[in-house]
Structure 1
Amino acid sequence: MLSRRELIGLGAAAGLASGCAPLAARLRHKAPLDAFALPAGPTEPAVRLFGRAGFGHRPGDLQAYAADGHEKTVERLLHADAPEDPTLIAQISRLEAFRMNADEMEDLHREEVVRQLQQGAFLRSVYGANPLKERMVDFWTNHFNIYGPKETCAWRKGSDEDHVIRENALGSFPKMLEMSARSPAMLAYLDNERNVSGHANENYARELMELHTLGVDGGYTQRDIQEVARCFTGWMVEERFLRRKGTFRFDPDRHDNGRKMVLGHVIPAGGGEADAQTVLAIVSRHPSTAKFLAKKLSLYFLGERHPRVEGEVAEAYGKTGGDIRAMLRPILFSPALLEGSPILKRPLDLVASALRALDASTDGSRPIQEHLNAMGQAACQWPMPDGYPVKPTAWSGSMLPRWNFAFALAEGRIRGTTLERADLSKSVQVEALLGKKPDAELLQAVERDGLGVALASPEFQWR
């Protein structure tokens, strides 16, 4: 949810944005023409960094990288303290899914809430002032995946994204893990509301160890799953009359207070709510968690396994107690980031990077969401707890809808999304898009058939 200070600070921007979303998009400050010019020297490192540590470069990013160098640029991305565009805040504030409590949204249709969640997540990926933070929000949203259309999850997902994921995206993993465990959206999605003494439901316990911490080969057993489930009995969502519905609640009457044994650790009887907190401490400190997260981060940012980098990431986790910035430094400073094999853009990467590079305007509404849906990556719509896949093979079947998006964007056929820089030549548009000078063949094709050719080209499909 937006803070009171953010809402008060919107001022005139919020008032102007309270009409139609396309108007709010047009109020954004457009990049000056000279920001589209390529800097002297190689641009591949900058394009690669902004494509991996964000959702692609924007006008001016390549020049800033050339002036500051890799190390200073990475540290700025890690710091992530740039103020957000007031117009972006205004657009997000108009969405009930991000500004209302779960119990206040009960009159809204589930599909409408999911649509707003998708719109808000997309706007932030395109216009967010801190690209690495937005990239990590995407990573953790999939790591702690919640399927929006399930039961009451949609009404609770906005709060989860803001307070569990966004507030901790570059902070402490153990803190985010505990907040996720208490998240009403997560408790509902993984059925922990049904986890009571004498009838333990193992769904959350299993995913906690398999997907959130230790990994499938992390050294736990089926008995560990059963014992962890017992520890989390009574962790549920408030639904009682005259109470704040939709918030976390621990019910001692539904908790199994017996003795438990988890991963070799004895949890004495009578611990109550602290039983589950002990479990979270055990799994967050386990060496398998450091290794599992190091592997996932390496695959996400580098596209393939790098044992040396993974070892450094796992070591950083252990030394800092799970500080996410410390874990990212070995990856972002690794030669593999700039010199390794390219990664096929997932649909969100493709769409967001196109709009960012061309300084496009979008309201993030249904028409552009339909393109993401056709490509297979609509936010909140992955039903399994493992999140959208990272491997390129998972997205190789989406080429036709990718091309359809490319030409629809170039030809102005996506309502609410426009390329407004008519003052740019086609050659400059292609250079801005690719971050390098195009070869003569591609430029001739663009001159003949339009910018959609460049958007659909192999050069732009990879990052």
Structure 2
Amino acid sequence: MPDSASPLEAPRITQPEHARRLNRRGLLRGGGAIAGSALAASLVQTSPVAAQPASGEPPPAMRSPRNPVFAAAAGVPSLPPLPVIVFNRMAFGPRPEDWQAFQSLGDTPESRLEAYVEQQLAPETIDDSECEARLASYGFTALDKSLAQLWADHVQGDQDRYLPAWEVERATFIRAVYSKRQLVEVLADHWHNHFNVYGFDYWIAPVFVHYDRDVIRGHMLGNFRQMLEAVAQSPAMLFYLDNQSNSGGSPNENYARELFELHTMGAENYLGVRSPEDPALVDGNGNRVGYIDADVYGATTCFTGWQVNMDTGLFEFDSSRHFPYQKFVLGKIIPDNQGIKDGHDVLDLLASHPGTARHVCRRLCRRLIADHPPESVVQAAADVFLAHKDAPDQLKRVVRTILLSDEFRTTWGQKVKRPFEYVVAMLRATQADFEPTDSFLWNFGNSGQRLFRWHPPDGYPDFKEAWSSTMPMLQRWRRCNWLLGWTYGGDGPNKDDYRLQPETQMPASKKTPNEIVDYWSNRILGRTLPADERQPIVEFMAHGRNPDYELPADQIQERLRYMVGLILMSPSFHWR
């Protein structure tokens, strides 16, 4: 067929065989046409822009007015079955066996959800030996080292300084793809962004195993106040936000400002540059309703002397570098000569403040429900946060409240998968035999969300607008095509790079385009594709034939891989 035609515009069966053969450029254009216009219409209501064609090539089909059938109506998609919501927000997408496992947990959708939530909130009770065996097979050497060992080997010793961060990056991918403790992996991803550090910094990389294992994972279902202190005293955060150089004679406010603005009360509770005596700053009970710049400055001096011991890598308090005099933070007097207790008092004030409860819970609700979660569920979670502020399982109670809320069950289409979530979801849905090789990580790095490499302290964005514009979408389609095995600039698949192998999982009983598309959409999505997304994919698989006629086996094998790719590029696969 002409090189300008997409496979969805393939000639009828009466054309010569060579004219019906799969064409790489046409396939990529066809995939872009389906995924591009439909997803753009439903997510951002803007027209996608394809990569510029090589000189002399016609414009891609996704720019062509000949494909109006691919345009999807803008708006929020309909609410899917509850398991779809569960596995796309409590997990990094389902594996095929997850659908039936969820159905076996109870007699009603609500009872199954409650059972699944309780199961995931008790990760120690879940047999994760398959994932652990995979991790063990890689021979990682840094993941089990204590903080003192990491410092001795990778800072003071001659072992690779960046190896600990390198191993955490790979282990994170392995766990996200294979672990049955999916909620743990989702929450680890969330809290790494909440308490973001740049993992491949010169001083942070050697101790990043400790930050991931002992600080983030060790506290994410525990007590927020304890987690806050573990973060504050970790060498990763002490170096990242410069509290290592914060002394009484030369204060550095970087950590204190982000402690208020990102880690606890949030910018939503920032009241600007005002006098601490301003009566508008307090509520009817005399408590601060927000924070001002003076609170940041006061807290900065409270954390002077908090630093890393450069011989051991462990936290230490150096009283000679501490500002010992009286401070004023959030309307409270911090007495003089308290030493390290100054910092503890600030953490106590912040961890128990209603503004912190709302901000922390809003960010959790944003990760687990919607970009702009209903205030009702935010407040319900915040009430639990404050009522159990001293409980050892405070955060577990908060997460349970969010996941069992009506808002969790009845909200859909207000989030899209970020690149990490999208790639892992593809690998899980297709049961890929995945390894985090150097070539995979290099390729994934082009997606815009390379793990632990976000430089600013606010973490990777968690709003759909950040990930649904032209370039992020184009990059994720490229990741999909790479995982399918296409080499850019060549005419065929590079079998050494195959990750997705749908041919080995295709039931012989499914032979018509309609049957094949519906089988794979239900397997991947847990439901049939909406008509406007389904029809062009069926037409692609039919290749000009009647979609209810059985296809020859060789044509099924020839087109199956790319049909699965089109489902993975569809709008329905991007929602979470």
**Distance in 2 (alpha carbons) for counterparts of 1:433 and 1:79:** 27
SS at match of 1:249: strand
**Distance in 1 (alpha carbons) for counterparts of 2:291 and 2:476:** 41
| Residue in structure 2 matching 1:180, options 231, 236, 257 | 231
Structure 1 position 80 matched with structure 2 position 131? no
SS at match of 2:104: helix
Q: 1:9-408 to 2 correspondence within 5 Å?
A: 44-68=81-105, 69-81=112-124, 82-85=126-129, 86-91=132-137, 94-96=140-142, 99=145, 101-106=150-155, 107-108=158-159, 113-218=164-269, 219-240=290-311, 244=312, 246-303=313-370, 304-321=372-389, 323-342=394-413, 343-396=415-468, 397-408=471-482
Which shows bigger deviation, 397-406 or 136-145?
Answer: 397-406
Q: Any conservation in 1 of the 2:324–2:339 contact (CA below 8 Å)?
A: yes
Report the AA paired with residue 118 of structure 2. Answer: E
**Distance in 2 (alpha carbons) for counterparts of 1:401 and 1:119:** 21
Q: Any conservation in 1 of the 2:381–2:398 contact (CA below 8 Å)?
A: yes
Q: Any conservation in 2 of the 1:97–1:105 contact (CA below 8 Å)?
A: no
Structure 1 residue 94: deviation in Å?
A: 0.9
Structure 1 position 456 matched with structure 2 position 569? yes
> Are residues 177 and 90 of structure 1, via their aligned partners in 2, closer, same or farther at CA, if it must alter by over 3 Å?
same
> Are residues 91 and 224 of structure 1, via their aligned partners in 2, closer, same or farther at CA, if it must alter by over 3 Å?
farther
Structure 1 residue 91: deviation in Å?
A: 4.6
Per-residue CA deviations over 1:5-38 (Å, capped at 9, x if unaligned) read xxxxxxxxxxxxxxxxxxxxxxxxxxxxxxxxxx
Structure 1 residue 380: deviation in Å?
A: 1.2
Q: Any conservation in 2 of the 1:364–1:417 contact (CA below 8 Å)?
A: no
Which shows bigger deviation, 331-340 or 87-96?
Answer: 87-96
Report the AA paired with residue 423 of structure 1. Answer: T
Identity %: 33
Per-residue CA deviations over 1:177-220 (Å, capped at 9, x if unaligned) read 11001100000000011101121100000011110001113211
**Distance in 2 (alpha carbons) for counterparts of 1:417 and 1:92:** 20
Report the AA paired with residue 499 of structure 2. Answer: T
1:29 aligns to what? none
Q: Any conservation in 2 of the 1:195–1:234 contact (CA below 8 Å)?
A: yes
> Are residues 420 and 248 of structure 1, via their aligned partners in 2, closer, same or farther at CA, if it must alter by over 3 Å?
same
Structure 1 residue 443: deviation in Å?
A: 4.2
SS at match of 2:166: helix
Per-residue CA deviations over 1:138-165 (Å, capped at 9, x if unaligned) read 0100000001233311112221010000
Report the AA paired with residue 339 of structure 2. Answer: G
Structure 1 residue 353: deviation in Å?
A: 0.9
Q: Any conservation in 2 of the 1:83–1:129 contact (CA below 8 Å)?
A: yes
Structure 1 position 433 matched with structure 2 position 477? no
SS at match of 1:261: strand
**Distance in 1 (alpha carbons) for counterparts of 2:375 and 2:323:** 41
Q: Any conservation in 2 of the 1:200–1:230 contact (CA below 8 Å)?
A: yes
Report the AA paired with residue 403 of structure 2. Answer: L
Q: Any conservation in 1 of the 2:170–2:436 contact (CA below 8 Å)?
A: yes
> Are residues 236 and 181 of structure 1, via their aligned partners in 2, closer, same or farther at CA, if it must alter by over 3 Å?
same
Q: Any conservation in 1 of the 2:540–2:563 contact (CA below 8 Å)?
A: yes
**Distance in 2 (alpha carbons) for counterparts of 1:115 and 1:289:** 33
Q: Any conservation in 2 of the 1:117–1:379 contact (CA below 8 Å)?
A: no
Q: Any conservation in 1 of the 2:537–2:563 contact (CA below 8 Å)?
A: no
SS at match of 2:217: helix
Which shows bigger deviation, 391-400 or 364-373?
Answer: 364-373
The two structures have a TM-score, normalised by structure 1, of 0.85
Structure 1 residue 418: deviation in Å?
A: 2.6
Structure 1 residue 360: deviation in Å?
A: 1.3
> Are residues 461 and 152 of structure 1, via their aligned partners in 2, closer, same or farther at CA, if it must alter by over 3 Å?
same
Structure 1 residue 53: deviation in Å?
A: 0.8
Q: Any conservation in 2 of the 1:96–1:105 contact (CA below 8 Å)?
A: no
> Are residues 286 and 354 of structure 1, via their aligned partners in 2, closer, same or farther at CA, if it must alter by over 3 Å?
same
SS at match of 2:307: strand
SS at match of 2:268: coil
> Are residues 414 and 155 of structure 1, via their aligned partners in 2, closer, same or farther at CA, if it must alter by over 3 Å?
farther
Structure 1 residue 113: deviation in Å?
A: 4.9
**Distance in 2 (alpha carbons) for counterparts of 1:139 and 1:92:** 26
> Are residues 182 and 413 of structure 1, via their aligned partners in 2, closer, same or farther at CA, if it must alter by over 3 Å?
farther
Per-residue CA deviations over 1:96-143 (Å, capped at 9, x if unaligned) read 366451331134555655433321221121122211111110010000
> Are residues 416 and 162 of structure 1, via their aligned partners in 2, closer, same or farther at CA, if it must alter by over 3 Å?
farther
Q: Any conservation in 1 of the 2:164–2:208 contact (CA below 8 Å)?
A: no
**Distance in 2 (alpha carbons) for counterparts of 1:185 and 1:95:** 20
SS at match of 1:387: coil
Structure 1 residue 441: deviation in Å?
A: 4.0
Which shows bigger deviation, 227-236 or 75-84?
Answer: 75-84
Which shows bigger deviation, 211-220 or 328-337?
Answer: 328-337
> Are residues 361 and 114 of structure 1, via their aligned partners in 2, closer, same or farther at CA, if it must alter by over 3 Å?
same
SS at match of 2:357: helix
**Distance in 2 (alpha carbons) for counterparts of 1:205 and 1:74:** 35
Structure 1 residue 93: deviation in Å?
A: 5.3
Structure 1 residue 71: deviation in Å?
A: 1.6
Report the AA paired with residue 332 of structure 1. Answer: L
Which shows bigger deviation, 262-271 or 80-89?
Answer: 80-89
Structure 1 residue 366: deviation in Å?
A: 2.2
Per-residue CA deviations over 1:318-371 (Å, capped at 9, x if unaligned) read 111171121112321223323223121100110111111222122212222233
> Are residues 421 and 399 of structure 1, via their aligned partners in 2, closer, same or farther at CA, if it must alter by over 3 Å?
closer
Normalized per residue, the structure richer in helix is: 1
Report the AA paired with residue 445 of structure 1. Answer: F
Q: Any conservation in 1 of the 2:448–2:472 contact (CA below 8 Å)?
A: yes
Q: RMSD value over aligned CA atoms?
A: 2.2
Report the AA paired with residue 375 of structure 2. Answer: P
**Distance in 1 (alpha carbons) for counterparts of 2:92 and 2:388:** 27
**Distance in 2 (alpha carbons) for counterparts of 1:333 and 1:365:** 38
Structure 1 residue 454: deviation in Å?
A: 1.6
**Distance in 2 (alpha carbons) for counterparts of 1:414 and 1:192:** 49
Q: Any conservation in 2 of the 1:365–1:416 contact (CA below 8 Å)?
A: no
Q: Any conservation in 2 of the 1:118–1:369 contact (CA below 8 Å)?
A: no
